[in-house]
Structure 1
Amino acid sequence: MDNAFKAAGNLLPYHLLAYGALLGTELFQARPSFFNTKICYRALPMKEFIALQKQLFPVYFKTQVGLAALTAATHPPYSIFSLIQDPWSVGSLAIVGMTGCLNWFIYGPRTITASLVRRALQGKMSDIPDSDPDASRIHRADRSFTRNHAMAVHLNAISIIATILYGFSLSARVMEARSAQ
């Protein structure tokens, strides 16, 4: 029990919890991107599906960036001051933060906007048969959605890889500290 109280005054348990939450959140989000999103897409009317995505993804991207920052801030033994001495960890967490910010501020909003535009144009197209200019606009909206959504998915994959690489770096440091004792 004394060791538990000693650990409470150390950054390592908080760091492990922050890192674990980051990796768990990313893996959970990756899984829904491939499974839950498809189920929601099939089960919900398009309007409700888009509304769900519009609310869900910004929260995920904010959480991802926040957990990456918390992981960096709790880096043992001396917070950020220890982190800057470990280039692999700095690089990994910087990638996670950058990909999260890109999705939060650029590709997430662009994907949602393209999805809404595409949906509005498709609704308009059903009212006007054989409308060539609208078909061209739908094609551009589809391409915009596909491009931005693919970028967001690829950034998520890069982030997961960087987070896992950070886990290996963290493990190496823990094992090194353990062997030095």
Structure 2
Amino acid sequence: MRWLLLVTAAMLAACASGPPVPDWQDNAKSALDRGTEAYLEGNTRVADVEFARARSEISRTGRLDLMARGELVRCAARVASLVFEPCAGYESFKSDAAAPERAYAEFLAGRISAQDVAMLPPQYRTVAIASADSAAAALSALEDPLSRLIATGVLFQSGRASPAAVALAADAASAQGWRRPLLAWLGVQLALSQK
């Protein structure tokens, strides 16, 4: 028993021996998470405050590539809710964005090129190349509800979302209690049922 305690203590010490995460990074991630959650819940005022807080924390670094990444988080929440407007916040930093962020921005806009698919976050690669027929299966493989909503939004924007894919998105939004995307996806389901 004593041996097990020593091994556990050594493992915990090894995990804690790395450098601490900078405050700005923790603060920015927390603000982005809270902003995304508030936006999806339909609380625009809180979302705006939290995204502004995240922007402020990231700006402390002076790194424009990180500013671009932060803005893409906000744009992704909009795509998940079927708000397909230009990602103005990202556009300000586009020239400083790294290649993976540029590929993700193109993905969110529904126009990813085949050579950029490999630069996407892994969960979106299969969806990015899916046809309308295989899209629902690709979406079913996504366990994270936000990733599923974002991917379905991209498919819908590019005309590849089947009724089954739309149902998966509505179910994901409903299960999380996210009003904004739920209303958007239910509206799509209603429109599809009236055709």
TM-score range, shorter chain: under 0.3
Larger Rg: 1
TM-score, normalising length from structure 1?
0.28
Higher relative contact order (CA 8 A, sep 6+): 1
